[in-house]
Structure 1
Amino acid sequence: MNGELIAFFVLALITVSGAVLMINLKKVVHIIVALSFTFLSIAGLYVLLSAEFIAFVQVLIYSGAVSIVMLFGIMLTKHDDKSTVTVGFKRGLLSFAGVAAFFIIVFIGINDLSFGQQATSLHEFNTRQVGIEIFSKYVIPFETVGVILLVALIGAIVLAKNEDEDEKEAKGNE
Structure 2
Amino acid sequence: MFLLTIVFYIACIVTAGSAFCLLFVKKPMHGALYLTSSMLALSIIFYCLGAPFLFAMQLILYIGAVIVLFVFFIMLSPLDKTSTFNLNEMNTVIPVGIIVILTLSIITLFTTGPSMPSTEFSSIQIIDSKSVGSLLFTHYKLAIELISTLLLAAMVAVIYFAKNIEKNEAE
Partner SS state of residue 136, structure 1: coil
Greater Cα radius of gyration, structure 1 or 2: 1
Match of 2:127 among 125, 128, 135: 125
Q: Percent identity over the alignment?
A: 23
Corresponding residue for residue 33 of structure 1: 33
Corresponding residue for residue 56 of structure 1: 56
Q: 1:19 to 1:82 in 2, by over 3 A?
A: farther
> Offset at 1:43?
0.9
Summarize deviations over 1:93-124 as a string: whole Å, max 9, x none.
xxxxxxxxxxxxxxxxxxxxxxxx76445362
Q: Are the counterparts in 2 of residues 32 and 67 from structure 1 also a CA contact under 8 Å? A: yes
> Offset at 1:69?
3.8
Corresponding residue for residue 135 of structure 1: 137
Q: TM-score, normalised by structure 2?
A: 0.60
> Offset at 1:141?
0.4
Where does the alignment leave 5 or more consecutive residues of structure 1 unmatched? 88-116
Answering whether residue 17 of structure 2 is matched by residue 20 of structure 1, we say yes
Q: 1:15 to 1:27 in 2, by over 3 A?
A: farther
Q: For 1:32, give the aligned amino acid.
A: A
Answering whether residue 9 of structure 2 is matched by residue 7 of structure 1, we say no
Moved more, 25-34 or 121-130: 25-34
Q: Are the counterparts in 1 of residues 43 and 56 from structure 2 also a CA contact under 8 Å? A: yes
Q: Are the counterparts in 2 of residues 44 and 55 from structure 1 also a CA contact under 8 Å? A: yes
Answering whether residue 163 of structure 2 is matched by residue 166 of structure 1, we say no
Q: TM-score, normalised by structure 1?
A: 0.59
Corresponding residue for residue 111 of structure 2: none
Q: Are the counterparts in 2 of residues 15 and 37 from structure 1 also a CA contact under 8 Å? A: no
Q: 1:138 to 1:56 in 2, by over 3 A?
A: same
Q: For 2:60, give the aligned amino acid.
A: L
Q: For 1:78, give the aligned amino acid.
A: L
Q: Are the counterparts in 1 of residues 11 and 44 from structure 2 also a CA contact under 8 Å? A: no
Answering whether residue 79 of structure 2 is matched by residue 78 of structure 1, we say yes
Q: Are the counterparts in 2 of residues 16 and 38 from structure 1 also a CA contact under 8 Å? A: no
Q: 1:118 to 1:141 in 2, by over 3 A?
A: farther
Q: 1:31 & 1:12 partners in 2: Cα distance?
A: 23
Q: For 2:48, give the aligned amino acid.
A: L
Q: Are the counterparts in 2 of residues 27 and 81 from structure 1 also a CA contact under 8 Å? A: no
Corresponding residue for residue 108 of structure 2: none
Corresponding residue for residue 44 of structure 1: 44
Greater relative contact order (CA < 8 Å, ≥ 6 in sequence): 2
Q: What is the number of residues matched between the two proteins? A: 138
> Offset at 1:83?
10
> Offset at 1:47?
2.4
> Offset at 1:7?
2.6
Q: 1:40 & 1:55 partners in 2: Cα distance?
A: 9
